[in-house]
Each structure stands twice: as C-alpha cells, then as structure tokens.
Chains A and B, each alone.
Chain A
Amino acid sequence: MEWTGHSEHLTAAVGMTQVWRPDTTEEAWRLKRQYGTFASYVAGGTWLRTRWESGSSVLPPYLISLDKIAPLQAIQQLESEQEAVELRIGAAVTLAAIESHPLAGGAVPLLGKAVSAVAAPSVRRQATIGGNVMSRSGDLIPALLALDAVIVSYSQGQYERQPLAEWLAGDGGDCDKLTVGFELKQVGGSCWFRKIGRRETFTPSVITIACAYRADSTAGRLLDVRIAVGGAGMAPVRLYEAETAAESGASGASVYAAVRKGIPSVADDYASAAYRRMAAANVIAAELDRAASG
C-alpha cells in the first residue's frame, strides 16, 4: 500500500526548456559540463523525441544544440598515407546527407546501404549519424563496426580517437566527452547489409547484419571478411570467429556455427535469442557461400 504520484505526465512540460546553440565544440562541451544532467546534447533530436514521448526520459531544462558547430556538420576527406581514402563524418551530419554524399553513401556502399535501412526518408533528413550511434543500438553501428570506424570525441581541449568497437564495449557512462565525428576508410571489395525487422520497412531491428569482404576469384577465397551484427536492445558486435572461418575457406556450416556462437543472447516480446542467432547465422552463411562460389 503506497501513495503513487504520476510523474509520467510531466514529460509534456516543454515550456521550461531552454536551448543553447553554441558555435564551437569547446563551448558546447563547457555548457554540458556546467549543466551536467540538467542538459542534453541534441542534434536532430529524433531519437530523443521518441524517448521524451515515451516517458523513458524527460525533456531536460537545457538542450545544447550541435547544429551551429560547423565541423560537426561536415563530411571531409582526410589526408592519408595509405592507399585507401579516409573519411571523417561529423556527428551532426544527417543520414540523408550521408546517403547522397559522393564521399559517403556513394563511395562507401556499406554505409549507404545501412543508412537507407534506417526509419523513413523524412526521419533521415533530421536524424544524424551521431544520434544513431549514441543510441547504442542504431542500424548504422554494425556497418561502422565492419568498416573499423573510429569515434572521435572531445573533452577539455583534447580530441580523442577510439575504435568504435572499444567505445561500444565501454559502459557509455563517460558523460564528459562530446562525440564529434567518425572516421572510416573507404575499403574496396564487396559488401552487403541486411536488416531483419518486424515488417518490411520502418521497423525496429530484430537483427541487423553488415558484411564487407574481398573475393579472390583466382583462389576462390574470401579475404578481409568483416561481419558485424546488432539490433534493438542488443549490444552490436563484430563476429571475429566467423570472419576467420570465412577467410579460411570454411563451408557455410562452419561459418554458421561460428556466427551462432558470437551473437549476444537477447530476447524480447517479439523474438527469442535462438531466433536471432539462427536468422543471423542463416543469412551470413548463405551470403558467404554465395560470395565464395563466385
């Protein structure tokens, strides 16, 4: 027996919120440091809006918009000593911009395919790559993982580069860092991306798979295989064992087994962990068998 308040209704108190629109990364970071948990960074705000609407978080008193910080809106080619072109995508670049940018969606097909699988076109015009990754279950993450992307963050006058895989393995509790962008290489070869959802489009992911590889047609083998999976409520992971199995010329059956081992065990009201494992393993094994057979 207890008194129950109904704080879920408080989420609509929009009149309280103030919006900062700093011009530099440094300013944004300072503001966040000043307001702490009373502030939230916001770029497109699509994911945040869904959370506010659902009551899973409350519209904070301060929003720190990243929309005026020029480097966060940019897609740039980086100087690179290696052969592959390196790319930096600002955290506040919209998915639609990535989709249509010749250096991004155009030149990195895996990223382009992943972006197209997110939500619907209107949402992609507002949602950003940073928001998708910060949600920790966005559909872009498997693609970025397969591309060995690096997450660039800012804190106290310093920029830090960290492999995305490493960042994901952390607990995400480091509020002091502002994610400013992502770096990745345009790798050659082939790729595919597959999102298994609850319906054909605009759906939460049940399991999302990103895969890049090169086919050595003379040897009939696959080289440099990268496979990553994610999905709603699942921590995205690279499937290193499956990659090794595929590179060593193993049959679909061994790849299948390696994939199953690597998929995190996640179940919800829609699909069991066993289903997710089998669906991912099936699709990966079938696609790699097809790739290996030319």
Chain B
Amino acid sequence: MFNKKLWGAALLVLATSCALLNTVSVTSIPANRAKPVTAEAHDWVILGLNFENGFVDTVRDKLREQCPNGKVSGILTKYEHVSYFLWYKRSVSATGYCETGVKL
C-alpha cells in the first residue's frame, strides 16, 4: 500500500510541469493566409547543464522547406520552456504563411 502511494507521488512529481514563455515576436502579416506553415525545434536540459543552443538554427530552414518557391511572412516566433522535476524542455516554434507567386 505504502509502495503504491510512493510510486503515485513519484509519478505526480515527475509529470508535473510548469510552462514559461520567454519571448514572442511577430512580423508583417500578408493578406493571403491560405497556406499556413509551421516549424518547431526543441532540446532537453537536465540539471540546468546546457552547452549548446544549436537546435534553434534549424527552425528557419524547416519553414523554408515547406515553402520552397514562395515567401514566408507573418511569422510568429515563440521561445518557451516547459519545466519538469530537475529537467526542462526548451522549444522554439515559428508559424507563418506561405505566399507563392511572389517575385523577389
């Protein structure tokens, strides 16, 4: 009985998380919003030990891949944390609109 309670408490502690929003930004939003595109990148940090922020660099390329010949605008970028017991997840998400037929 005691063991079950202990396991339950441990599971509760491990599953409990807090969300923290660090930064938000938006760029100019186009009139044509027919094709939304979205990209996300994240990494996990254990005990606050983190030596690299490289995961961020992939977000823009992921957006571009979804709109190879068009313009991506109206980009909402969010950088957030979800904090668990002794570790946390950092994630950067970007959503925007793909406009095709736009000339450079």
Partners in one complex: no
Residues of A within 8 A of B (CB): none
Residues of B within 8 A of A (CB): none
